[in-house]
Chains A and B, each alone.
Chain A
Amino acid sequence: MTTFQSSVRLMLRCIVIAFVIFIHDNAKARDANAAFVREIAPGVYAHQGAVALMNAENRGDIANIGFVVGEKCVAVIDAGGSLEVGRALLAALRQITDKPICFVVNTHVHPDHIFGDGAFVAPGVTFVGHKNLPRALAQRGAFYKKSFRPMIGALADEAVIVTPTLTVDGERTLDLGGRALTVRSWRTAHTDNDVSVFDTASGVIFTGDLVFLRHTPVVDGSLLGFLSVVGDLEKIPAKLAVPGHGPIGVDWPAALQAEKTYLETLTKDLRRLVKSGERVDRAAQEAAQSEKSKWSLFDDYNPRNATAGFAELEWE
């Protein structure tokens, strides 16, 4: 064999190997894309974010997000904490179905749920949210892009704030073709712009941050409102829940219990501290400490909840 022939042969062999690797990697990428979500009920897919604060390593991927596939089209529920996360969800969705996306529901204003919205902006896609969501986005959108820059860098800059064009005041049914999702707006609880999404066909409820598991609940609206909404949520005849944070596809209404205990404990402690004339800064360090061992990120969120809760309960 001449040197030339062997070179050609070697080259061909390299091309074949490269091709095989390419195919293999592509398949792996496809599996990885699809593995980004888990099918928790027929046609209902969810991704579990890390129980963590948003940072450069987790790329803002800390919230639970997902989508529901109907006969006609798909509804996405929350887009994640960065454009990157939104794109990963979209890639996973496209491995599963070719149907068009007709709705993106944002469960509330917080960055870990909306910074990925930009990945889904396209003709025919309607963004859906609470009647107060446009106002909350106007008040906080620009602030969040700035305040999250130290934590996630350029990911904050590239986040696109998308204002919903379909707003919900009460209940609204989204028709996905042979499948109806009920979007329900709630009184001020986790925020003043929370909605839940209930898929009657499967009995799965996407609660947004009205339900936390493992991750310390966050009160950025009203402590008493949150407690009252938890009571109302219990009556919804769902089977499984995708909470805003923590494990997905969990039993309903058992998923509410830990959060309910936390909110009740916090309320009870704060009422006692208000009554005894304690100062808000001291109360924030003392309240609900008995709950500490049950939750992640407790020191990040409990003093904050206690501060806001104290200011609320002082009016009782």
Chain B
Amino acid sequence: MVRGNLLAGSLVALMACSGALALDRPDLWPGLAKDIFASKAISKDADIATLEAPARAEDAAIVPMTINLAKPATQVRKATLVIDQNPAPMAASFTIGANSGLTQISTRVRVNDYTEVHLVSETTDGSLHMVERFVKAAGGCSAPSVKSLDEANANIGQMKFRTIAASDLGDARRREAQIMIRHPNNSGLQMDQVTRLYIPARYIDQVKVTQGDDLIFQMEGGISISEDPNFRFTFVPNGSKTITVEAHDTDGKVWRSQFPIEGAS
């Protein structure tokens, strides 16, 4: 009886604790905003860009994020994705080419914990605009790490490009395309106390996508981008016959590939 009560008591305490754990995370945003954006004023408005993020991460290692430039006419120079509670919060910063016609870009990120995700857009006038989403951590045995390190390393640098037959992109000339790069994008591991293992960090820190001399987008990223970095984006062909993708990783390795633009004039 006493034991039963104790058990019930500890269960109640436990549940109270678990609720608190999910809610009582410190608000890291003020510090992050200051560090990443050099204390510049950031207005909270969804007029410039919006962010699509799932309410709950299904797989902690692959959480889709989609940035929509709400007013393509208002030129967005840079869109930065910050995952507050991740070990490396600055997930990716996209520089948008002035003549790209890019209105949407999606990628996949790792989400370690219950977290706010911030999208900060910088317009050509230099002002900063922010939207935020809350993402619940994936449950169960899901982990924000590489699923198969051996396979990822074996195919490192392989690239794939495809155009997607899209429906309405707001402009008959606009296309949708996807770039995939094989890379473990590994956060690495300091000497592990239990296993004595050490795994060096190795990840893609820059991807540049161009058509001819025109930039479509350039990404500076870190370990919050999922393994096999994946970018799906819209653009308006500028007449070039090919798209060039150049990826650079922290080991100084560069991979460069060219892909034909279907139906390029």
Residues of A at the B interface (CB closer than 8 Å) are: 53-54, 56-57, 110-112, 132, 134-135, 137-141, 143-144, 147, 149-151, 153-154, 161-163, 188, 191-192, 218, 220-222, 225, 277, 279-281, 284, 300-301, 303-304, 306-308, 311, 314-315
A315 B160 Cβ-Cβ under 8 A: yes
B145 A138 Cβ-Cβ under 8 A: no
Given the contacts A140-B145, A304-B58, A277 and B139 also touching, CB distance less than 8 Å: no
Q: Which of chain B's residues 160-209 have a Cβ closer than 8 Å to chain A?
A: 160, 164-166, 176, 180, 182, 189, 192, 194-195, 197, 199
Residues of chain A within 8 A (CB-CB) of B18 are: 56, 149-151, 153
Residues of chain A within 8 A (CB-CB) of B197 are: 134-135, 138
B59 A307 Cβ-Cβ under 8 A: yes
A-B contacts at CB below 8 angstroms, number: 127
- Partner of A218 from B108, B141, B148 at Cβ < 8 Å: B141
Q: Judge if B62 is at the interface, Cβ distance under 8 Å.
A: yes
Chain B, residues 125-147, CB within 8 Å of chain A (1/0): the string is 00000000000011111111111
A141 B194 Cβ-Cβ under 8 A: yes
Stretch from B29-37, B67-75, B226-234 that touches the partner: B226-234
A307 B62 Cβ-Cβ under 8 A: yes
Q: Which residue of B lies closest to A276 (CB)?
A: B165
- Partner of B143 from A144, A154, A163 at Cβ < 8 Å: A144
Residues of chain A within 8 A (CB-CB) of B254 are: none
Nearest-CB distance from A132 to chain B (Å)?
A: 8
Q: Which residue of B lies closest to A160 (CB)?
A: B194
Chain B, residues 203-236, CB within 8 Å of chain A (1/0): the string is 0000000000000000000000010101010000
Residues of chain B within 8 A (CB-CB) of A150 are: 18, 21-22
Among A153, A301, A306, which residue has the most Cβ atoms of chain B within 10 A?
A153
Residues of chain A within 8 A (CB-CB) of B142 are: 220, 304
Q: Which residue of B lies closest to A164 (CB)?
A: B195
- Partner of B230 from A54, A112, A135, A311 at Cβ < 8 Å: A311
The CA of A218 and the CA of B141, in the complex, are separated in Å by: 9
A138 B62 Cβ-Cβ under 8 A: no
Given the contacts A139-B199, A303-B58, A53 and B145 also touching, CB distance less than 8 Å: no
Q: Which residue of B lies closest to A277 (CB)?
A: B164
Stretch from B9-17, B242-250, B256-264 that touches the partner: B9-17
The CA of A303 and the CA of B54, in the complex, are separated in Å by: 12
Residues of B at the A interface (CB closer than 8 Å) are: 11, 14-15, 17-18, 21-22, 52, 54, 58-59, 61-62, 64, 66, 106, 108, 112-113, 137-151, 160, 164-166, 176, 180, 182, 189, 192, 194-195, 197, 199, 226, 228, 230, 232
The CA of A163 and the CA of B15, in the complex, are separated in Å by: 31
A153 B14 Cβ-Cβ under 8 A: yes
A192 B230 Cβ-Cβ under 8 A: no
The CA of A227 and the CA of B15, in the complex, are separated in Å by: 38
The CA of A135 and the CA of B188, in the complex, are separated in Å by: 11
B11 A277 Cβ-Cβ under 8 A: no
Secondary structure at chain A's binding surface: helix, strand, loop or mixed? Answer: helix
B140 A301 Cβ-Cβ under 8 A: yes
The CA of A141 and the CA of B62, in the complex, are separated in Å by: 19
19 contacting pairs across A/B (C-beta < 8 A): A53-B139, A53-B140, A56-B14, A135-B199, A138-B192, A138-B194, A139-B146, A140-B143, A150-B22, A151-B139, A221-B147, A280-B62, A280-B64, A303-B58, A304-B59, A307-B62, A311-B226, A314-B160, A315-B180
Residues of chain B within 8 A (CB-CB) of A153 are: 14, 17-18
Among B15, B59, B151, which residue has the most Cβ atoms of chain A within 10 A?
B59
Residues of chain A within 8 A (CB-CB) of B15 are: 56
A139 B140 Cβ-Cβ under 8 A: no
The CA of A130 and the CA of B64, in the complex, are separated in Å by: 31
The CA of A188 and the CA of B142, in the complex, are separated in Å by: 16
- Partner of A143 from B143, B164, B180 at Cβ < 8 Å: B143
Residues of chain A within 8 A (CB-CB) of B138 are: 304
Given the contacts A280-B64, A281-B64, A315-B160, A143 and B144 also touching, CB distance less than 8 Å: yes
Residues of chain A within 8 A (CB-CB) of B194 are: 137-138, 141, 161-163
Nearest-CB distance from A61 to chain B (Å)?
A: 15
The CA of A140 and the CA of B62, in the complex, are separated in Å by: 16
A188 B141 Cβ-Cβ under 8 A: no
Residues of chain B within 8 A (CB-CB) of A139 are: 143, 145-146, 189, 199
The CA of A112 and the CA of B137, in the complex, are separated in Å by: 18
Residues of chain A within 8 A (CB-CB) of B149 are: 132, 135, 192
A57 B139 Cβ-Cβ under 8 A: no
B141 A110 Cβ-Cβ under 8 A: yes
Residues of chain B within 8 A (CB-CB) of A304 are: 58-59, 138, 140, 142
A138 B108 Cβ-Cβ under 8 A: no
Residues of chain B within 8 A (CB-CB) of A162 are: 194
